[in-house]
Structure 1
Amino acid sequence: MATLTSRAEDYSKWYNELVLKADMAENSGVRGCMVIKPYGYAIWEKMQKQLDQMFKDTGHENAYFPLFIPKSYLSKEADHVEGFAKECAVVTHYRLKNSPDGNGVIVDPDAKLEEELIVRPTSETIIWNTYKNWVKSHRDLPILVNQWANVVRWEMRTRLFLRTAEFLWQEGHTAHATQEEAVAEAEQMLRVYAEFVENFMGVPVIKGLKSPAERFAGAEETYTIEAMMQDGKALQAGTSHFLGQNFAKAFDVKYQSKEGKQEYVWATSWGASTRLIGALIMAHSDDNGLVLPPNIAPIQVVIVPIHRTDEQLEAISAVATELINNLKGRGISVKFDSRTEYKPGWKFNEYELKGVPVRIAIGPKDLENNQVEIARRDTLEKHTHSVDGLDQHIQDLLTEIQQNIYNKAKAHRDSLITEVDTYEDFKKVLSEKGGFISAHWDGTVEVEEKIKAETKATIRCIPLDAKEEEGKCVYSGNPSKKRVLFAIAY
């Protein structure tokens, strides 16, 4: 099996090699776009399934809206169009024709669209144009809708899963009668994302508010969960936006209140994308390959038989079949790899590279002793266990691995949060240590932009649990009421 560049040597190269060698994704023939391969997509499916259930448990329903957005829709909310204008892919024609010189096809100049269509970078505009027809009375509210879809943002510098021109995501779009309801919805969905990322992906996050400069285009307030990667860079893992009445006013979405008055609707939107797979890789994996938390691993347990003869394989298979049935009965996904064209050592390397949480090896000696050898992916430790009670042991072990992966990521994240009180210390910590820098900020966009220009660090969030304290801005020396978190981010 091919070895990986180490993280210490070149973190970026390690990441790219791992995505390719673990068979998760590859670059496509379309510049800036990726092909998500079955193993990578299986991880996305597990994420999707879990998030989708959490959305439904909080009263949301799925719907689907068009991929194309008329250009005029995007013009209606000024901040929104300004935020996305530079990333839009535009459809101008609707037909091809054979080239007169016989060399393939050309765009038919007579097939120009009356109005150009934007390939959705996000769906607020098309959805709020639709909600105008759905909302007449207070009885039509709230609307709690989610869409699983692809979006296009024309990125020039791409990296598999983290930043591609097209990516998969979900986007929730809700409409409410009151400001209080909409704010409560935005905050609830932030908690849903945090619970998912921490409990299923094993990645600790900090919940907070974005600074005005970092807010979603067209939002009154953006809530975010920020994660820390092993290389000391932050990654935004999910956002939830309180949109106020901006889109309702832009698309004239009103409802008749109980008192008979015409009122504008209050809105939220919230989304998480396939970049979560990038977060999963960078938060946990090591120089041997992926390390997947059991709750998100497509294969939680792999059984590898070690045999020389067909008779031995048959005997091992009989034991394995019973174990597989017991494990599946507990809701554990398990694979029995009986391929004879690969040696056990090759298989061990493959499943280590793919991050399978638990590997069980069974050989003739193990059968004699009524035991199996178990290897944990998170610690690379091995131990033996009796075949009796093995399914319960594996279930307990998976729970332990899930917790251990989270604890390790949290300890690492916590070690990379540094409080500073001077700009000198700010720059020193940023260059020597990285991670989150907790510092006072005077609340001005000018200071935020200057720090970003000078250091590449941005305000990742104003933590929701930040305590009020008198301080001075590290850059301007002006008064500040609370600390915010800066970091260099993906």
Structure 2
Amino acid sequence: MTNKKELDKITPMEVDFAKWYTDVVKNGNLIAYGPTKGSLIFKPNSYGIWEMIQKELNSIFKSKGIQNVYMPLLIPESLFALEKEHIAGFNPELATVTHVGNKELSEKLYIRPTSEVLFADLFKKSINSYNDLPMIYNQWANVLRWEKTTNPFLRSREFLWQEGHTSHSDPTEARRFTREMINTYAKFLKNFLAIPTIVGRKTPREKFAGACSTYTIEAMMKDGKALQSGTSHYLAQNFSKPYEIKFKNKENKEDFVYQTSWGVTTRLIGALIMTHGDNRGIIIPPRIAPTQVDILELFANKDEKVSKVAKKLFIDLGRKFRVNLDSSEKNPGFKASNSEIQGVPLRIEIGPRDLQENKVTIVRRDTLEKELVGLKDVKDRVGILLEDIHNNLYESAKERLKNRTVSVNYYDDFKKEIEKSNFVVAPFCCSDEAEERIKEETGATARCIPIKDLFKPENQESCIIPECKNGTKRYVVFAKAY
């Protein structure tokens, strides 16, 4: 039985999705607000999710020969300024160190908003010949961007991420690696976060400052908005030339390296909350959940067998799963509610009545279905249910993405579908002027040019904007976005 007082803390998502999100984030043991505006404290549940993301991605990265490093926090102004487009893109968000104590520094230092220039400096010092290439590094770090508007996990001034940076001897290899990493992220979200995505390339207006091209994975949240959930950038020689990252090729001629960068952030925590959560709290997909199973002792003071069975199950299940034992004397309703609001995929309720039949009650977080299971069958049943929960979460999100992605050829239809909070696929010329008009009139932005055709073009060769004279055979995904 769920504690009504706990549920009263959560605004139904149908009433106010933004308030629902804030409520579940605060009540799900995920965050506390820091003393500086826009800063977050990651509590055990959210940092546990991030640790699982790190663990699984590190395993994938190592299988690809990617090595972890750590770069400095501060970037000298003179180093940052070498790539003009890059500094222009980040300038409004740069936090700057100008003094140490009362002494003014001779040169401004920027707190890293990203580390392209730091890696460029490292590559310049480390690369001499083609035998040194490819050089493929990743770092797990915090970065700072002085965002005007903040939202927990989705847009905060300081956030955690991984950022990968590579140098290659030829553009074909670099482009291939750029695409490989965005596909790696798409598979990771599917296999661990149970989130389906659309893989695509950003329009020129939306690409990363300093990149030649940017690839993205776009996920649909339960309110129909898009969330950019990972990016991979082909930098070409845009950084290697100003930073003079040179190497001797096989012909012993000097050339500049071709680079990529790619990353995901703690925004993924927000993605899983808004993809899977319900009005009882968050739902964490089992493969990424810090705790996969909550074992709850109920009325243990009335029957000592409850604690004995609970402790034995905790040990047995702990050999294969991530398990938590709640042996507190809090009332059963509170324990169940606490487990639900924190999104634990399964809970096992152990009470005197069920133990009379040598059984326990297992409750799924995704469907809230309950079933009585014999003690000897619990371990096998937990494994089956965890797998089923992951698949159910993914298929539900996939069906929602499919049902709420529509194709249009006329601007009036486009505006109607955007108003319904759908993903809209439309023919588009990708001009900055047309993109700005759509944003001003509908609030939607170009999310990506999908890698795979979502819809077959219906002999449409003109832009969705009626007055636009630019011909196009390109279809672009638009949506309102976080």
- TM-score band by shorter chain is over 0.9
Query: 1:377 Cα shift?
Result: 0.5
| AA matched with 2:268 | L
Q: 1:351 aligns with which of 334, 339, 343?
A: 339
Which residue is equivalent to 2:238? 246
Which residue is equivalent to 2:325? 336
- 1: distance between equivalents of 2:301 and 2:441? 66
Which residue is equivalent to 1:317? 307
- 1: distance between equivalents of 2:115 and 2:24? 33
Q: 2:365 aligns with which of 377, 395, 418?
A: 377
Kept in 2: contact 1:19–1:26 (CA 8 A)? no
C-alpha change, 1:468 and 1:268, in structure 2 (3 Å) is: farther
Which residue is equivalent to 1:100? none
Kept in 2: contact 1:468–1:482 (CA 8 A)? no
1:165 aligns with 2:167: no
Partner SS for 1:489: coil
Which residue is equivalent to 1:395? 383
Query: Within 5 A, what are the aligned runs for 1:169-184?
Result: 169-184=161-176
Query: Within 5 A, what are the aligned runs for 1:5-404?
Result: 5-95=11-101, 108=102, 111-307=103-299, 309=301, 312=303, 314-330=304-320, 332-340=321-329, 342-404=330-392
Query: 1:335 Cα shift?
Result: 1.1
Partner SS for 1:170: strand
- 1: distance between equivalents of 2:84 and 2:440? 26
Please identify, of 17-26 and 471-480, the stretch whose mean Cα deviation from structure 2 is larger. 471-480
Residues 123-149 of structure 1: per-residue CA shift (max 9 Å, x gap): 001210121110111111111100100
Which residue is equivalent to 1:99? none
| AA matched with 2:17 | Y
- 2: distance between equivalents of 1:152 and 1:323? 44
Partner SS for 2:241: helix
Kept in 2: contact 1:176–1:182 (CA 8 A)? yes
Alignment size in residue pairs:
471
- 2: distance between equivalents of 1:226 and 1:145? 25
- 2: distance between equivalents of 1:335 and 1:253? 50
- 2: distance between equivalents of 1:441 and 1:280? 30
1:411 aligns with 2:417: no
- 2: distance between equivalents of 1:128 and 1:483? 35
Partner SS for 1:259: coil
Partner SS for 1:480: coil
- 1: distance between equivalents of 2:469 and 2:27? 49
Query: Within 5 A, what are the aligned runs for 1:465-476?
Result: 465-466=452-453, 469=457, 470-471=459-460, 472-475=462-465, 476=468
| AA matched with 1:140 | D
- 1: distance between equivalents of 2:156 and 2:262? 19
- 2: distance between equivalents of 1:130 and 1:361? 54
Residues 432-456 of structure 1: per-residue CA shift (max 9 Å, x gap): x212101000232211111112212
| AA matched with 1:387 | L
| AA matched with 2:445 | T
Query: 1:477 Cα shift?
Result: 5.9
Query: 1:339 Cα shift?
Result: 0.5
Please identify, of 144-153 and 386-395, the stretch whose mean Cα deviation from structure 2 is larger. 386-395
| AA matched with 2:327 | S
Residues 368-405 of structure 1: per-residue CA shift (max 9 Å, x gap): 10111111100011111111121011101100001001
C-alpha change, 1:372 and 1:255, in structure 2 (3 Å) is: same
- 1: distance between equivalents of 2:376 and 2:174? 53
- 2: distance between equivalents of 1:422 and 1:358? 47
| AA matched with 2:399 | A
Query: 1:308 Cα shift?
Result: 5.4
- 2: distance between equivalents of 1:255 and 1:44? 37
| AA matched with 1:57 | S
Query: 1:23 Cα shift?
Result: 1.5
Kept in 1: contact 2:204–2:430 (CA 8 A)? no
| AA matched with 1:239 | T
Residues 2-34 of structure 1: per-residue CA shift (max 9 Å, x gap): 321000111001101111111201221111111
Which residue is equivalent to 1:101? none
1:459 aligns with 2:446: yes
Which residue is equivalent to 1:103? none
Residues 312-336 of structure 1: per-residue CA shift (max 9 Å, x gap): 1x31222223322332222x11111
Kept in 1: contact 2:222–2:275 (CA 8 A)? yes
Residues 187-228 of structure 1: per-residue CA shift (max 9 Å, x gap): 111111111111100110011000000000000110100000
C-alpha change, 1:231 and 1:477, in structure 2 (3 Å) is: farther
C-alpha change, 1:468 and 1:364, in structure 2 (3 Å) is: closer
- 2: distance between equivalents of 1:251 and 1:468? 43
- 2: distance between equivalents of 1:281 and 1:228? 12
- 1: distance between equivalents of 2:20 and 2:322? 28
Please identify, of 319-328 and 445-454, the stretch whose mean Cα deviation from structure 2 is larger. 319-328
- 1: distance between equivalents of 2:67 and 2:247? 21
- 2: distance between equivalents of 1:417 and 1:465? 14
- 2: distance between equivalents of 1:47 and 1:443? 34
| AA matched with 1:248 | S
- Flag structure 1 segments of 5+ consecutive residues without an equivalent: 96-107
TM-score using structure 2 length? 0.96
1:430 aligns with 2:418: yes
Please identify, of 205-214 and 477-486, the stretch whose mean Cα deviation from structure 2 is larger. 477-486
Kept in 1: contact 2:153–2:270 (CA 8 A)? yes
- 1: distance between equivalents of 2:353 and 2:363? 17
Kept in 2: contact 1:468–1:481 (CA 8 A)? no
| AA matched with 2:434 | V
